[in-house]
Amino acid sequence: RLIAERERAQALRRRVFLRSGGMCEGCGARPMQDVHHKTYEHLGAEFLWEIVGLCESCHLRIHGIVEGE
């Protein structure tokens, strides 16, 4: 079951990567490194639009860890 969940998460990440062209959907200037859930309402059966691909800087910024550039 854990393997199936890992494979599902990796497939979802690949779809986000393809949608974004491998670039951060926050700044558009750096490569995508992380995925961020905009909501956890459908966790485990997410809609693709509920997840964005972000670079590390934008992912930290969206969580309020660093200020905007």
Residue-wise pLDDT tens digits, 2-54 = 889 899 999 999 999 999 999 999 999 999 999 999 999 999 899 999 999 99
pLDDT level of residue 68 (50, 70, 90 thresholds) = low
Tokens of 29: 């200037």
Report the predicted TM-score, pTM, of the whole model to 2 decimal places: 0.84
CA distance 29 to 11: 24
3: part of which helix (H) or strand (E)? helix 2-20
